[in-house]
Structure 1
Amino acid sequence: MKNYFAIVLLLLTTLGYAQSSLSGLLKKYNSEAIPYITVEELKQSKNEVILLDTRERNEYNVSHLKNAVYAGYDHFNLDSVKKHIPNKNNPIVVYCSLGVRSEKIGIKLKDAGYTNVKNLYGGIFEWKNQNNTVYSTKGKQTENVHAYSKTWSKWLLKGEKIIN
């Protein structure tokens, strides 16, 4: 009986840790079917990649990475992406708030034959948390970042959290 309680305690502790770190959160929700690219790696190759913002339009309108193309999540349209990115070998980086929704869109791209898709580790939240610039739909720098929801907003440590 003592061993049973010890095992339960260990499991609860592990689950608590998994949800209190970004890596734990991403491991919980993602399969890593789409390889990650870090913020630093993206900054080094930013001019060579196509950025796809896989959040919803209202999130994108608040702020996005410079030159990112809106792709959406609930209303993702593969045909629209094919028109915008006809070369399936182009390097593409998908991102969302943290990297969960973007992995799902990345898988759709991979299934459609795109060969060079990566998922931004930690999404726009990690981008902003590392003091990088985000832009409004008017192309102006902004401190505003759509925080998706009150629950998920805890992962955004810098910038102005917008929830609507």
Structure 2
Amino acid sequence: MRAWLLSVLSLTLLYTGCSEETKWSAVDRLIETRFSDVSEITTDSLAERLAASDSIVLLDARTLEEYEVSHIPGARRIDPSTTDFSEFDSMGRDAPIVVYCSVGYRSARVADRLQDAGFRNVSNVRGSIFRWVNEGRRVVRGDSTVREVHPYDDTWGDLLNPSLHAYEPGASIKK
């Protein structure tokens, strides 16, 4: 019941004229409550780890359409609804896996499933790609650096700087 109320409150805050900080706090709290067993990593920590090492398995848990607009360099796409992690069977169960999506909800769900499958070193990116790109960090399409990100939808896309919205590769829109 508490998780449901928090979900309703979070969505209400997204639809109202609250500050961006208040909206992010509500979304972060929703994810923390729903996926309390999933470790989180900040965008700052992820940037540091990516700069220091290439041993992280970075997973983008968004749709193919979202991934094709842009993604964090080095990320592999994983279907956000998957329950089959057999492609990772060759990795050790302690391999560092970091998952992100648009704001962190779908990736937290994937991280939770990975943990259920026996992976022990899994983290979800707090704020995911929206926070990453809002902070001015690099995203790519193929080998090219780009500025735009798929906004998922009008509600969640409100957390992404409007100048960064694109629903398909190369087609930026302004709100």
TM-score under structure 1 length normalisation: 0.81
CA contact (8 A) 1:96 1:123 kept: yes
Correspondent of 2:114 among 95, 109, 116: 109
CA contact (8 A) 1:64 1:124 kept: yes
Secondary structure of the corresponding residue to residue 109 of structure 1 = helix
**What's the Cα RMSD here?**
2.2
User: Larger radius of gyration, structure 1 or 2?
Assistant: 1
Alpha-carbon distance between aligned partners in 2 of 1:87 and 1:44, rounded to the nearest angstrom: 23
Q: Aligned residue pairs: how many?
A: 148
1:38 is aligned to: 42
Correspondent of 2:96 among 60, 73, 91: 91
Secondary structure of the corresponding residue to residue 99 of structure 2 = strand
* C-alpha displacement of 1:82: 3.0
Structure 2 unaligned regions, length at least 5: 15-21, 169-175
1:69 is aligned to: 76
2:19 is aligned to: none
Alpha-carbon distance between aligned partners in 2 of 1:98 and 1:61, rounded to the nearest angstrom: 17
1:149 is aligned to: 153
Judged with a 3 Å threshold, the aligned counterparts in structure 2 of structure 1 residues 75 and 91 are, in CA distance, closer, same or farther, namely closer
Written as runs of structure 1 = structure 2, the 5 A alignment for 1:2-81 is 15=9, 19=14, 20-29=22-31, 30-46=34-50, 47=53, 48-75=55-82, 77-81=84-88
Secondary structure of the corresponding residue to residue 55 of structure 1 = coil
Q: Which deviations, in whole Å up to 9, do the C-alpha atoms of 1:78-97 show, x marking residues without a partner?
A: 122335xx211111110000
Structure 1 unaligned regions, length at least 5: 1-10
2:138 is aligned to: 133
TM-score under structure 2 length normalisation: 0.76
Judged with a 3 Å threshold, the aligned counterparts in structure 2 of structure 1 residues 121 and 95 are, in CA distance, closer, same or farther, namely same
Identity, in percent, stands at: 30
Secondary structure of the corresponding residue to residue 74 of structure 2 = coil
Amino acid at match of 1:23: S
